[in-house]
């Protein structure tokens, strides 16, 4: 699953290690792709394109923008999942699968909210470690 939350995770890692100073959005997306080849450069650029501030944002601002995009995107998905869960005629496995989705997206939103607080307070190592589990569980969805 392509998800922008993984981009937040990569950015938190960059911030934690102070590897990079300012750079263009394209450059940052190229670095994310180098760090994690599963992250497509095009997906990264396209995701940020909807927010015009991305083009002049530094790494921590990009991390916050990506977290906000994650919250918007996951909230939208959660509404659909929770709507589907209201169906009383779901089979056992259909309900189980939807419950998994509910858990995954609910916890993704919680982590994105936490990441915003941590990035804003400069606590990049907490942001990176919180998102680390997310990083691996989401990649294989
Ligand atoms: C959420 O992101 C996925 C890709 O990760 C995309 O396909 C989908 O259109 C996005 N949905 C919203 C509501 O932004
Ligand atoms: C990014 O810019 C904001 C606002 O100017 C600043 O508060 C923040 O420390 C900067 N972050 C980095 C990593 O340079
Ligand atoms: C409820 O779930 C059943 C079984 O998957 C499906 O056949 C039916 O179309 C669903 N109803 C609604 C309103 O989505
Ligand atoms: C979805 O998950 C959240 C958090 O785990 C839980 O509070 C909520 O009750 C769940 N919603 C449904 C419809 O199962």
Ligand 4 proximity of 85 Cβ (cutoff 6 Å): yes
Give the per-residue pLDDT at 114: 93
Task: Determine which residue's CA is closest to atom 9 belonging to ligand 2.
Answer: 60
Give the global pTM: 0.84
Averaged pLDDT, 87-96: 96
What's the CA gap between 72 and 67, in Å, rounded? 9
What's the CA gap between 24 and 66, in Å, rounded? 15
19, 58, 62, best to mutate for ligand 2 pocket (most atoms within 8 Å of CB): 58
**Ligand (nearest to CA of 84):** 3
Residues in the chain: 141
Write down the mean pLDDT value for the chain. 86
Mind listing the pLDDT tens digit for each residue in 29-68?
A: 998 888 888 788 999 999 999 999 999 888 899 999 999 9
């Amino acid at each position: 699953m392509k998800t922008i939350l993984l981009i937040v995770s990569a950015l938190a890692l960059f911030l934690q290690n102070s590897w990079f100073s300012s750079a263009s959005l394209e450059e940052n997306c190229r670095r994310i792709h180098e760090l994690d080849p599963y992250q497509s450069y095009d997906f990264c650029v396209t995701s940020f394109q909807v927010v015009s501030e991305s083009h002049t944002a530094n790494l921590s601002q990009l991390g916050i923008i990506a977290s906000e995009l994650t919250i918007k995107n996951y909230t939208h998905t959660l509404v659909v999942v929770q709507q589907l869960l209201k169906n009383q005629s779901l089979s056992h496995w259909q309900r189980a699968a939807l419950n998994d989705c509910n858990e995954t997206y609910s916890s993704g939103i919680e982590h994105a909210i936490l990441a915003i607080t941590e990035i804003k307070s400069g606590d990049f190592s907490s942001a990176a470690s919180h998102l680390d589990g997310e990083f691996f569980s989401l990649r294989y969805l």
